[in-house]
Amino acid sequence: MKVFNSIAELHLELETIRLAKKSIGLVPTMGNLHAGHLALLKEALSENDCVISTIFVNPLQFELNEDLQNYPRTIEEDKLKLKKAKCEYLFAPSVKEIYGHNINYQTVIHVPDLSDNYCGRSRPSHFDGVATIVCKLLNIVRPDTAFFGLKDYQQFLIIKKLVSDLALNVDIRGVEIVRDSNGLALSSRNNYLSNDDIVKASNIYRCLQETAGKIRDKNRDFRKIEIWAKAQLSNAGLRPDYFAICESHSLSPANENDTQLVVLTAAYVGSTRLIDNLRVSTDQ
């Protein structure tokens, strides 16, 4: 596996790849790789001649009170996992390489509307940081296809809109959530959880499934279901941030005429904030 730390060196390699008329896939990550990341890589490798994985802990997407310094950085273990998964190229730049000498003067991209609610309300600058780094990586690599996990469903829609609005020539592909045996969606933040916390956290997916069941049983009082679901999470020892039943493309609050829905939630287990979602179709 070739590892690149500078944009200039990566560009030289990409020029050779393009001259050979090979298709390029991009898998952006913040490292601390788990089976969910490797599922993205597997999908990317199946569809492209070569794949660029990136590892970059992006300071712009962390709020001031969040865990940037404590975010798990496991670059050597990550390299071994990527090699085992047959990844040929890794781009692992420094913050200076991406943002220059003063990150405070970095141009920032804001995707309106989709960024405003749910995680965007709880973390006001988070999606601006995500949109900025994704746009930079897409411009640096210029892949044919880029792969993102659907666990971050709001993020996925924001990136799709970013690419459409800025007329970027790349196909954005979503890859299904990978879960553990208890249904907990895999996340680097799961490393912060104790065994007891993991048992509590598994109630998030259970609540999503029960909510989907109510919807499929023709219960269309979505606001009442949301209140019920928050109570279920609280009773299980979690602290819900939000629980919302939305139209799956606009993320507007679902109404009784919507047939393609997504149930979004974020909840705290102790001080660790976890997100999850479940798409539900009522189109029979």
Was 160 annotated as part of a binding site?
A: no
Instruction: Give the C-alpha separation, 147 to 95, whole Å.
Output: 22
Instruction: Give the C-alpha separation, 72 to 190, whole Å.
Output: 11
Tell me, yes or no, if 37 is annotated catalytic: yes
Was 126 annotated as part of a binding site?
A: no
Was 58 annotated as part of a binding site?
A: no
Active-site hit among 11, 37, 101, 126: 37
Instruction: Give the C-alpha separation, 92 to 7, whole Å.
Output: 10
Was 189 annotated as part of a binding site?
A: yes
Query: Which residues, other chains included, contact 135 with Cβ-Cβ below 8 Å and sequence gap of 6+?
Result: 109, 162, 166, 168
Was 171 annotated as part of a binding site?
A: no
Instruction: Give the C-alpha separation, 58 to 188, whole Å.
Output: 14
Was 181 annotated as part of a binding site?
A: no
Instruction: Give the C-alpha separation, 258 to 21, whole Å.
Output: 43
Was 216 annotated as part of a binding site?
A: no
Was 36 annotated as part of a binding site?
A: yes
Was 33 annotated as part of a binding site?
A: yes
What sections of 92-194 are H helices per DSSP? 95-99, 119-122, 126-141, 153-165
Residues that constitute the known binding site for beta-alanine: 61
Residues that constitute the known binding site: 30-37, 61, 149-152, 155, 178, 186-189
Residues that constitute the known binding site for ATP: 30-37, 149-152, 178, 186-189
Residues that constitute the known binding site for (R)-pantoate: 61, 155
Give the active site residues.
37
